[in-house]
Structure 1
Amino acid sequence: MISLREVHDSDLAVFWGHLSDPAAQHMAAVTRPYHYDRSLFDAHWARILADPAVLMRAVLADGEVVGHVSLYGPPEEREVTYWIAGAHWGKGIATTALTALLALEPARPVYARAAADNAASIRVLQKCGFEITAHSTVYAESRAAEIPDVALTLA
């Protein structure tokens, strides 16, 4: 069973394990400095957990924390992001979690981005009603290169 709950302090060590996984970083492509440095990670999470405008939830599969999902940004520019541990990819967890998160805040539009070659993430977003609205390039730190990416919108 997939469920969402508020993030607990004890989840952060689990999230660090997920975000610092090189295979997951490569798949996500666009990473930030906090994916590589635990002190930056801790500071980043302290900021986002203290921000009332961020809707952040831990994702649980049969009671185990397997990732997180969030909605952030100003009302007219809300964006989703999610991260599921690699051991749990391909099980429908991201789709179920994102669907549940979107039900908590029905305001639209909502935006998302994905590396153009991350077909699984794009499929998750499309299953949740997002449509590809733009193509561009972005620097992917985890790949040390410019890569194609897509912007998606849930109207």
Structure 2
Amino acid sequence: MEIALRAVEDSDLPVFHRQMTDPVAVRMAAFGPENPYDRDVFAAYWQRVRDSAHVLRTVLADGEVAGNAAVYGVAGEREVTYWIDRAHWGRGVATAALRALLAEVPERPLYARAAADNAASLRVLHKCGFRETARARGYANGRGREIEEVVLVLDD
């Protein structure tokens, strides 16, 4: 399978909406937009993301929109984030996409956060060189409550 990144296009947003309203994915990711099911809230969320991301990419798997990946935040505190369609889980898409994003953004350190029980995402981050630095508690929109999260860093 060929994994590629490209700039986000307006036509990607309806696909992202479908992907980011999959109830299984929302629960797994835990930390996502507040009420992504409301199209107006979703549109406002994506406008903020597009305005504030340092690097924002659509993830393609064999030419199909498989998700998105981004680096956001201020220099020295930038974080990575990604969302991969559940149809592509377990196929190496997230790992390949994150590696491509990290090659595009050589700045270090970069940070990441994941729900402590999201073993798949933690595995992706570890494969890409991130290491755990802390644990914290944060409100997870996808779970409707505060949960434990893992804070990771990539510094080389």
Task: Specify if TM > 0.5.
Answer: yes
Equivalent residue, structure 2, for 1:134: 134
Equivalent residue, structure 1, for 2:145: 145
Task: Indicate the SS of the match to 2:139.
Answer: strand
**How many residues were matched structurally?**
154
Equivalent residue, structure 2, for 1:70: 70
Q: Counterparts of 1:18 and 1:61 in 2: how far apart (Å)?
A: 14
Whether 1:94 and 2:73 are equivalent positions in the alignment is: no
Q: 1:34–1:44: 8 Å Cα contact kept in structure 2?
A: no
What do residues 71-129 of structure 1 show as CA deviations (whole Å, max 9, x unaligned)? 00001100000000011100000000000001111010000000000000000000010
Give the TM-score normalised by the residue count of structure 2: 0.94
Equivalent residue, structure 1, for 2:23: 22
Q: Counterparts of 1:103 and 1:90 in 2: how far apart (Å)?
A: 22
Equivalent residue, structure 2, for 1:11: 12
Counting helix residues as a fraction of each chain, which structure ranks higher?
A: 1
What do residues 43-83 of structure 1 show as CA deviations (whole Å, max 9, x unaligned)? 221232234x5200000000000100000000110000000
Distance 1:103 1:34, change over 3 A: farther
Matches within 5 A, 1:106-121: 106-121=106-121
Equivalent residue, structure 2, for 1:61: 61
Q: Counterparts of 2:65 and 2:108 in 1: how far apart (Å)?
A: 28
Give the TM-score normalised by the residue count of structure 1: 0.94
Q: 2:35–2:141: 8 Å Cα contact kept in structure 1?
A: no
Q: Counterparts of 2:93 and 2:115 in 1: how far apart (Å)?
A: 19
Where in structure 2 are there 5+ consecutive unaligned residues? Answer: none
Q: Counterparts of 2:67 and 2:33 in 1: how far apart (Å)?
A: 17
Identity %: 56
Task: Indicate the SS of the match to 1:101.
Answer: helix
What do residues 10-43 of structure 1 show as CA deviations (whole Å, max 9, x unaligned)? 0000000011111100001123225232111112
Task: Indicate the SS of the match to 2:142.
Answer: helix
Where in structure 1 are there 5+ consecutive unaligned residues? Answer: none
Task: Indicate the SS of the match to 2:117.
Answer: coil
Query: Which amino acid in 1 is paired with 2:108?
Result: R
